[in-house]
Amino acid sequence: GAGVSQSPRYKVAKRGQDVALRCDPISGHVSLFWYQQALGQGPEFLTYFQNEAQLDKSGLPSDRFFAERPEGSVSTLKIQRTQQEDSAVYLCASSPWTGANTDTQYFGPGTRLTVL
C-alpha cells in the first residue's frame, strides 16, 4: 500500500526565500509529525497534529517556521526567510492514534533542503 510521501524530495533555496514542504500521510492516520534531521544526527521533533489540530509546536526553532494541516490529511511545513542553518532533511511521519505513546510512526523519505 501507499506509504507516507513527501514533496519535493530536494529543494535548493537562496537565503531569505520562503519554502513550502508537503507531506501526504497514510490515509486514515490521525497523527502527523514533522521532524528536522541535520546531517549525521537523529531526527528532532518539530510539531505534532492530531487531525487538523496542532497540539504541540514546541520543537519549531523560530517563528519563521509554520505548519498546517487544514483538512486533517495533507500537511505543509513552511519556512519563511530561510537561513543557512535551516539546511537539513525534513521528515514527516504519520501514525494511527490509540491514545498511547506507543503508536508506530511511519516516516516518509524526507525533503532535503539546502539553503545557499
Partner 1 sequence: QQQVKQSPQSLIVQKGGIPIINCAYENTAFDYFPWYQQFPGKGPALLIAIRPDVSEKKEGRFTISFNKSAKQFSLHIMDSQPGDSATYFCAASKTGAGGYNKLIFGAGTRLAVHP
**Binding residues among 2-61 for partner 1 as defined by CB under 8 A:** 4, 31, 33, 40-45, 48, 50, 55-56
3-state secondary structure (DSSP) of residue 89: strand
Residues forming a β-bridge with 91: 35
Write the interaction track for partner 1 spanning residues 50-89; mark x where CB under 8 A is met and - where it is not: x----xx---------------------------------
Least CB distance from residue 83 to partner 1, whole Å?
23
Say how many residues touch partner 1, by CB under 8 A.
Answer: 30
Q: Is the Cβ of residue 18 or residue 85 nearer to partner 1 in the bound state? A: 85
Cβ pair 31, 101 in contact under 8 A:
no
- Tell me the one-letter amino acid at 75: S
| Nearest to 59, CA basis, from 39, 81, 77, 84 | 77
Phi first, then psi, for residue 104 (nearest 5°) are -70, 130
Span 93-112, contacts to partner 1 by CB under 8 A: 93, 95, 97-110
- Distance separating alpha carbons of residues 43 and 90, to the nearest angstrom: 9
Residue ranges binding partner 1 (CB under 8 A): 4, 31, 33, 40-45, 48, 50, 55-56, 91, 93, 95, 97-110
